[in-house]
Structure 1
Amino acid sequence: MRRRALAVWALGACVDAQCAETCQTCKSASSTDCKTCRDGYVLIDGDLDGVGACEPRSVDWDFNAGACRSSLGDHVGMASDLEGCWTLCSELYGANLKAIDLDSNNWCTCQDACECMDPGNGGGYYVMTSLEFANGLPAACETDETRLVCEGTCPDGSSPECCDIDGDCEDGDDDWCCGDDYLCSNDSSEWAASRGGKLCCVLDTIKWGATGTWCKSELDHLVGLAATLEDCWTFCVEAHPDGLAAVDLNDRGECFCQDACACLDAQDGFEGQLMTAASVSALPDACNTHLPADVVDGDDGDDKTTRRAVQVLVFAMAATVVVCCCFAAAVLAAAARVVYRRDLRKPRAEAAPRATAVEWPSVPPEAVVVL
């Protein structure tokens, strides 16, 4: 038995030359059948013996402080795990996919490169890359030099001291102290107020807070995740330095940039916070859910939606009247036909004799009296 097995192995041993041209490796050492792998996996034959195994096309780096950054940065939706996120992105970008990022809210982002590791909103990310990054992830992204940095000023005119938690007041989240008093912070106005201070850099914005609505515009760009409205505004300014009108941050931490605030929408189902440019001094009305928000007649303020509804109602009423009239006419015509047919079925009465010429009685001549 053993001798037969050796003979079979000798005749059917799988080597690269015996595989089909399109086959990388065989199923086993005793088979020349081509081994195939499902999507997302690739055949690896490290020792070149003609027998390989299916290995994933990607490397799971598990949880990291940063996410891969690239010019793509496509937020494709929610995924339950890294494999699901990789599948979503693979279907969209195929071989161009180089990395994916899955944040703590299960938001999946596709990348066509992994230039550096971006700390993002500081919440950490699950990262998966293609095999070309198997030797390691790139270094952290450099701090944006254009990030908003402001210096605090003491009430008495003296110079404040840096009291930032990381000891660096030039990194954009600077905290300044005057003596033992906390002066200001760039983290957020709420954070500064909770410490008895104020916001160092006053943005030219109006914070409307938790309105439960968001400004509707053609842009509506999901730029990423943000911890605060101020962070959301900063991200949108970086992405759209010209023409930014509003930002909205929903309860999932998703930050959206808007280039207008034509109306307020609440159709996404998420409780949102809203911040606008100072030029938007008053919030607009709620959006019409049936027609675009720009259908208001500037001459008389009449809502075109209302006019359209009235027109439809009038048309429906007119159509109803026409249908009723046609129905009534049809009923009358049918009734007339029934009466006519009933008259035709009745027996006719005998006709009266026709009138004839009057016959005068014959009178004898002697009876005629001449006057």
Structure 2
Amino acid sequence: MDSLPADIPDPWSLGADPSARRIVVAMSGGVDSSVVAALAQRTGAEVVGVTLQLYDHGEATARPGACCAGRDIRDARAVCDRLGIAHYVFDYESNFRAAVVDRFADDYLAGRTPIPCVQCNTGPKFTDLLQFARDLGADCLATGHYVRRVGGMAGAELYRGADPARDQSYFLFATTQAQLDYLRFPLGGLPKARVRELAAEMGLGVAAKPDSQDICFVPDGDYAGLVRKLRPDTDTAGEIVDLSGRALGRHRGLIHFTVGQRRGLEIGGQDEPLYVVRLEAESRRVVVGPRRALAVDAAQLSGLNWIGGNHHGPLTAKVRSMAKPVPAQLIGDRLVFDQPEYGVAPGQAAVLYAGERVLGGGWIERTEAAALAA
């Protein structure tokens, strides 16, 4: 049995006799989860790879840039065959459609900006798959997410991935303490380049496989097209208005816009660039204004999940997956920013940190506009 590479601390905590243990690995068919499976196999524990089929097999086979699809299932199986471990595939298409895809469409119709990756993690991956791992009697469920799990006095703690370019902690804010205690993230301390090196060294055929898209079920990036397909009556035109309600033009449907968007408004003759400030679903209006109108002082949160223990010190908040955390205060379920923040959109998540540690987070329900600059 090969040992773990020297630059990977033992993430498993399996005790003195790993050969008596069982690890279930969530395998999407990509390089990350494949390396996790290979690292798990090196512990000497019994390893079981599990893939969730999230799309119709015939359609999935032709989906470039997706994950958990036809080719990915074959890749996951090939990796398991090479490693000599068991591999199971479960059809979760209907669950995924109800928990993730339908909600994605409905959020867009309500003028919200959805994050389906969070629903996928808290639904099919970290609820259904985790229960399956427990039913198998596994000691842990391992995934290829780029986050760090560190043992703490009151249980496991979640930290940002060591590589800022790959950190996925924003998408895992809804992980519960019980889930975190059971989960393992072996790649959290590594850069992606090192993971690909490991895949090549281990002889895995997916070593050079491209990464999947952020939203796997929209590989071509045409969100509006998907929503239109799922909800055919949604492409309803409406007015584009300024902050005072004055009509400036027409739009082809709310599904084409998100808060902070500048392109695609097709409004000429204005003194300064205009941005989408908010979407009013009931009236089908797109409200636009200058960039300063995007400034937000506070946001009301729902579904607040806390895994930060008794933390009472300063915290920072991240309101978009690619944004930098900014100083803020959490007062009940109201997040108050130390300085006005831009691009805060209902439907997105606000994830809270103490340094590198993830404290939790919640869903942005509505925002409180800052006083407009003169």
Query: Shorter-normalised TM-score: what interval?
Result: under 0.3
* TM-score normalised by length of structure 2: 0.24
Question: Which structure exhibits the higher relative contact order, with contacts defined as CA atoms closer than 8 Å and separated by 6 or more residues?
Answer: 2
**Which structure shows the bigger proportion of residues in strand conformation?**
2
